[in-house]
Structure 1
Amino acid sequence: MKKITLFFASFLMAAMTYAQCPAGTGGVWPTTPTTSNESGFVQTISTCNYTGEYSVVNGVTPGSTYSFTIELNSDSTPKYATVVNDADLSVIAFGPSPLTGVVMPVGVTSIRINWTDDAACVSETSSCHTTTILCTSCTPPPPPPGDVCTDAQLLTCGGSVMGDTSAAGVTNDLQGDCGSVDNDANNLWYYYDSSVAGVPENVTLSTCNNAAYDTSIAVYTGACGALTCYANNDDAPGCAGFTSEVSFVTDGSSTYYVMVEGFSAGDTGAFTMSMTCSAANPPPANDLCSSAEALTVGAAPAAGDNTDATSDINNPSCDLFGVIDDVWYSFVAPASGAVDINTVIGTALDANVAVYDDCAQTTELGCSAGNAGEAATVNGLTPGNTYYVQVWNGAPGSFTIEVVENTLSAGSFELNGFEYYPNPVTDVLTMNAQDKIDNVEIYNMIGQRVMTMKPDAVQSQVDMTNLSQGTYFVRVTINNVSETIQIVKR
C-alpha cells in the first residue's frame, strides 16, 4: 500500500511538473521582445518559433485577459504553451493551444511564453510554428477609413494617398479575386469617379518603390458586393520590393473601385499610392481577342504595336505577376500542326507571346517571355483550327510578329508537354518534359548567368535556395531547341 501511495504521489508530481514547461531551453525567439498591441486583434509573435524556444512579450496589462496560440505551419497542428512572469519566472498559466482566459496578475507587465510540443515539455527544433497573442478583454479601435469597400476613400488625379494595412482595425474585406491578385490579405479601399472628368482617361496607380511590403493593386467596376475585376498588378517591372503599378482606361462615366493589399496573408504594411491621369487615345484595333488580327502562316512579318492597349486581367503562366498590356493575333494551324511564332522588338521593351485555342484563355498551349523578342515553338495543333496569340509587355511599343510552319516538329521543344512548378519558388523548381532536358541556364534581370545544369533527364529539380529574391530567366534546352521561362524567386 505504501509503495502504491508513493508511486501515485510521484506520478502526480511528475504530471504536475510536465503540465507546465517554464524552462525555454531552446533560447529566446524573436530576439527582440514583442510589445503587445492591446488592440483586441490577433497579433503575430513569430511565424517561425521552434518548440523549446520562448518568446518575451512586453506591455501586457495587469487584470486584462489574453489568449495564446502555437500552430505548426505545415499542417496547423496545435502545440503547448506555458506563460510565466518574465521578472521572476513564476508560472501564470499553461495548457494546449489555444490557451485562453489567461488573466495577468497584479504587477505583471512583461511575460515569457515557453513553447513546447506537449505537456511533457517535449521540444522539436527543426519546424516553424506561428505563435500569437490576443488581448481578449481589450476593446478594438474603430477600423480606419477605407477598411471595407462601402467606405472606400476618394482618389483624385495627380494626388496620392497614404495607408497602412498592418494598422489595428484593418480587415480582409472579401470582394472576390482579380486575376493575379487573390484577395487573401488585409486591404484598404479607394474609388475614382471618372464622370468628374467626363471623358476617357489613361489612369496609372502606383505603389512602386513606395511601400514597406509586397503590395498588390486590383481595380474593379460595378458596385460593392457585386464587383467585376477590371485591371490588376502584383509586381511591376523596375519596382523594388515587389511593389505594384497598374494602368487602365476609364470610360468617363463609371466609378472604379481600387483595393490595395499584400501578396499573401502575412504581407501588410505602410504604403503611398500615387495616381496620374491623361487623355486616353483609342486602343489598337486588335486590343481584344475577339478582334484579333489574322496572320497567314508563312507570310512576311506583320507590324504590331501595343501602345494604348488595355491591360488583361488574366496573367499568362510565364508572366504571373506582370503588367499585361496586350494585343491579339490569330492563325490557322498548318498541316504539320507545328508552328514557330517569332517576335522582334522595335520600340517595345519586350514582345512576349502566349498561345491559346480560344479567346476564353482557359487552355494555354505555349508561353514565352522576357527575351526582348521571342521564338516560341508550339506543336500538336489541329490542322485547320484557328489559334490565338497574345502579345504583351509592361512597356508598350512597336514590334513585328510572324508565324511560320515548323517542319522539324519531331525534334522541337513541345511547350504543351513541358511543365514547371512552383512559380513563385522559394527553394526548388521542378521541371518535367516529354523528352530529356539537355541543359538549364538561369540568368538574372541584367543578363548575368547565375547557374547552369545539364540534367540529361525528363525531370529536373533546380535548387534556387541560394539565389536572391527577384525575377530570373530560365533557359531550358530540349532536343537542341531552347525556350525561356520567367521565374520569381521569393
Structure 2
Amino acid sequence: MKKITLLLSLLLITSLGFAQDDCTTATVVTEGSYTSQINDAVPGIDNGDDIWFSFTPTVSGIISISVCDDLDDPDTRVFLYDGTPGCGALGASVADDDDGCLGTFESLLTGFGVSSGTEYFIQFDDRWSVAEFDWVLSVGPFEPNDDFANATPVTCGGNYTGDTTNATLDEDGAPDGPNYDLDAPNVWFSYDSAVEGAGDVTVDLCPSAFDTSVLIYTGTSGNLSLVGGNDDNDTVCGSSGGTTRSYTTFTANGTDTYYITVEGWNFSNTGAYDLTITCAASCSPAQANQDCASAAAIAVDGSPNAVDSTCSTTNLTQEPTCEGFGDVVDLWYTFTAPSTGAVDITRTLGTAAAAHVVVYDGSCGSFTELGCSAAVDGTLTVSGMTSGSTYYLQVWNNGSEEGTFNLTLTENTLSAGDFELIGFEYYPNPVNDKLNISAQDNIDQLTVYNMIGQRVMVQNPDYVRAELDMTGLAQGSYFVQVTINGATETIQIIKR
C-alpha cells in the first residue's frame, strides 16, 4: 500500500509540475521589488531547476534586474528573453548576468533596451543556489547620447558628465583595439576637427566613478575605423581617479569628425563618467621610426643611443604580450645578433617615465616574441638568436610616459654551461634600493659579492621572480650571481 501511495504521489507531482518552472507558467510581474525562490524540483543545485516571470514594459528604456540590494542574498544567475517568438521558440537569451553586483556573487542585468508593449521573459536558474532572494525590476530612460547617431558634440576645454547605467551597447561590430574592445553599454561624443582645428586631443576620464574604457573612431555607423583608445592609465589616473580609469591622446587632422565612445571594462561595468577634452598643438617633430616598416637600425656595441619618444604615437596592431591594459605608444628598431646570439638591452631613463621593450624574430606582420619586459627601465637579456640574423626591437610606453632615455645594446658573452637567458631580466641598474630579477624558470639562488669578492647577501627565491633589497649596501659596484637549474650567470650592478 505504501508503494502504491508513493507511486501515485510521484505521478501527481509529474503531471502537475511546479508553478513558474518554465516559460508557459511564468508569473506576470511589473516594475517593483520581489522576494522569490527557485522551484527545487530536483533537490540540489545545478539540476535544471528555475523560476520564470513574464514582464511587458509600459515604456521603452533600459531594463534593470538587480539582486544587489540585499548582500545576504545567495549566488544568483538571471536570463532575459524576447518573448515575441512565443514560449516554444524563445531561442537564446538576449541578455544575462551572473556576478554583476560588484564585490558579490549576486546578479545585475542592465544595459539592454526593452520596447514598450513587448513581452519579455525573466529566468532565474539554480546554477549556484536555490535559496530565497530579493530582487528589483525597473526600466530607466535611455541616455540622450546612447546611440552613435545622437553623439554629443564636444569642444576643446569642455567637461561632460553622465552615467552609462541606462545605456545600451551600440556599434558593437566596430573594430577593437589591441587591449580594449567595444563590448559594454556605451555613450557617444563627436569632435569636429574641421571646427576645433588640428592638433593633439586628450580624453580624460580619470575622475569617473567606475572601471572605464574609451575608444576613438572616424567613419560612419557600421563602417568605423579605429583611431585609438585606452582601458587603464594608472600613470595619470592612479593619483586622481584610480588605476582602472582611462586617459589617452589622439591626433586630429583638422578635417575629420572623430567619435569618442565611453564604456565600462566589461558589460557589467557601468556608472557615472566625468569626461574632459583638452587640445594642444601637434607634437613636433614627428617620429621617423613609428612602425615596423620604418624601424631604425641600432648597433650591438655597448654604446648608449639617445632616444626621445615625446612625439611617438599609438600602435593599433602590434601588442606585446607583457603589456596589460595600457596603450602601446612605440618606436621600432632592428639589430643584428652577435656571435653569441645573446644581447643585453638596457634602458636608462632621462625625462621619460618608462621605456618597456620587446624583441621579435620574423618579419613585419609575422612575428615570434623572444623576450618582453614591462619594467619601466633596466636590462632585458635575450639569447638563443642566430648570429648575423636581423631581429626587431619595439620600445613602448602607455602614452603618458614619453620623454628621453638611453637605449644600449650589448653582446652578452655566455660561457659553456650558462643557463638559457630567454626572458631573463633585471632592473633597475643602477639601483637605489631594490633590485628586481625575473627569469623563465625558477631562480634557485642569488648571491651578491662586493668588488673584493666578499659575499654580502644570499637569497633562495625558488620562484621565477625575486627582489633583492640592497638598501643597506654601500654605494659602488657589486656582482650578483644568479643560479637557475644548477647553472650560474653573473651580472654587475651599480648601487647608488
Shorter-chain TM range is 0.5 to 0.7
**Conservation of the 8 A alpha-carbon contact between 2:380 and 2:424:** no
Question: Out of 272, 285, 293, which is 1:290 matched to?
Answer: 293
Aligned mates of 1:351, 1:227 — CA distance in 2: 31
Shift of the 251–11 alpha-carbon distance from structure 1 to 2, 3 Å rule, reads same
Counterpart of 1:413 in structure 2 is 421
Shift of 1:43: 2.7
Question: Could you give the per-residue CA deviations for residues 121-145 of structure 1, whole angstroms, max 9, x where no partner exists?
Answer: x9579xxxx998767xx7x85x433
Paired position in structure 1 for 2:378: 374
Check whether the contact 1:377–1:412 (CA below 8 A) recurs between aligned residues: no
Match in the other structure for 2:192: 193
How many Å separate the matches in 2 of 1:359 and 1:256?
Answer: 29
**Does structure 1 conserve the Cα–Cα contact (< 8 Å) formed by 2:352 and 2:403?**
yes
| Cα distance in 2 for residues equivalent to 1:70 and 1:50 | 20
Whether the aligned pair in 1 keeps the contact of 2:422 and 2:439 (CA below 8 Å) is no
1:390 counterpart = 2:394: yes
Distance 2:12 2:439 in 1: 58
1:331 is matched with: 335
- Rounded Cα–Cα distance in structure 2 between residues aligned with 1:437 and 1:390: 27
Contact 2:155 2:196 in 1 (8 A): no
Moved more, 328-337 or 46-55: 46-55
> For the residues of structure 2 that align with 1:296 and 1:214, how far apart are their CA atoms?
43
What is the alpha-carbon distance in structure 2 between the residues aligned to residue 225 and residue 101 of structure 1?
30
Q: Contact 2:66–2:137 at 8 Å: present in 1 too?
A: no
Residue 304 in 1 paired to residue 307 in 2? yes
Q: Residues 211 and 284 (structure 1 numbering): CA distance in 2 closer, same or farther, change over 3 Å? A: same
Aligned-partner Cα distance in 2 for 1:437–1:14: 64
1:359 Cα deviation after fit: 3.5
CA–CA distance in structure 1, aligned partners of residues 442 and 177 of structure 2: 37
Alignment counterpart, residue 462 of structure 2, candidates 447, 455, 462? 455
**Amino acid in structure 1 at the alignment position of 2:410:** V
TM (norm. structure 2) is 0.62
1:43 is aligned, of 53, 64, 71, to 64
In structure 2, the CA distance between the partners of 1:71 and 1:305, relative to structure 1 (3 Å rule), is closer
Cα displacement (A) at 1:5: 5.8
Report whether the alignment pairs 1:438 with 2:444. yes
1:328-370 CA distances to partner (integer Å, 9 max, x unpaired)? 2221122322211111001111121112233337432221123
Q: Aligned-pair distance for 1:229?
A: 1.8
Match of 1:472 in 2: none
Aligned-partner residue type, residue 368 of structure 1: S
TM-score, scaled to structure 1: 0.63
Amino acid at match of 1:365: L
Secondary structure in 2 matching 1:10: helix
Alignment partner of 1:364 out of 358, 369, 382? 369
Q: Secondary structure at the match of 2:9?
A: helix
- Tell me, yes or no, if the aligned pair for 1:52 and 1:114 is still in contact at 8 Å: no
Counterparts of 1:2-21 in structure 2, within 5 Å, are 6-12=5-11, 19=18
Q: Deviations over 1:204-259 (max 9, x none)?
A: 10101x21211111112333322222212111124205000011222222222212
Q: CA RMSD in A?
A: 4.6
Aligned twin of 2:216: 219
Query: Per-residue deviation at 1:284?
Result: 2.4
Residue among 355, 359, 384 paired with 1:351:
355
Q: Which runs of 5+ in 2 are unaligned?
A: 22-35, 45-55, 77-89, 100-118, 426-437, 447-458, 466-481, 492-496
Q: 1:195 to 1:382 in 2, by over 3 A?
A: farther
CA distance in 1, matches of 2:403, 2:268: 37
Amino acid paired to 2:461: K
Report what 1:91 is aligned to: none
**Superposition deviation, residue 197 in structure 1:** 4.1
1:246 — aligned with what?
248
Deviation at 1:267, TM superposition (A): 1.1
Q: Which residue pairs with 2:84 in the alignment?
A: none
How far is 1:296 from its partner? Answer: 0.9
2: CA distance between counterparts of 1:266 and 1:319?
24
Instruction: Give the superposition deviation at 1:414.
Output: 1.1
- The 2-side partners of 1:278 and 1:380 are apart by 45
Q: Specify the alignment match of 1:87 in structure 2.
A: none
* Pairing of 1:123-162 with structure 2 (within 5 A): 123=129, 141=141, 143-162=142-161
1:206 partner amino acid: D
* CA shift in 2, pair 1:349/1:477, >3 Å: farther
Aligned to 2:272: 270
Alignment partner, residue 473 of structure 2: none
Partner of 1:90: none
Decide whether aligned partners of structure 1 residues 397 and 361 sit closer, same or farther in structure 2, where only a CA change above 3 A counts: farther
Kindly report which structure 2 residues correspond to 1:109-124, keeping only aligned pairs within 5 A, or say none.
Answer: 116=126, 123=129
Q: Deviation at 1:70?
A: 8.4
Taking a change above 3 Å as real, the CA distance of residues 295 and 202 of structure 1, as seen in their structure-2 partners, is same
User: Are 2:438 and 1:402 equivalent residues in the alignment?
Assistant: no
Distance 1:437 1:305, change over 3 A: same
Which consecutive unaligned segments of at least 5 residues does structure 1 have?
A: 27-35, 56-66, 74-98, 103-112, 418-430, 441-451, 461-475, 484-490
CA distance in 2, matches of 1:482, 1:260: 49
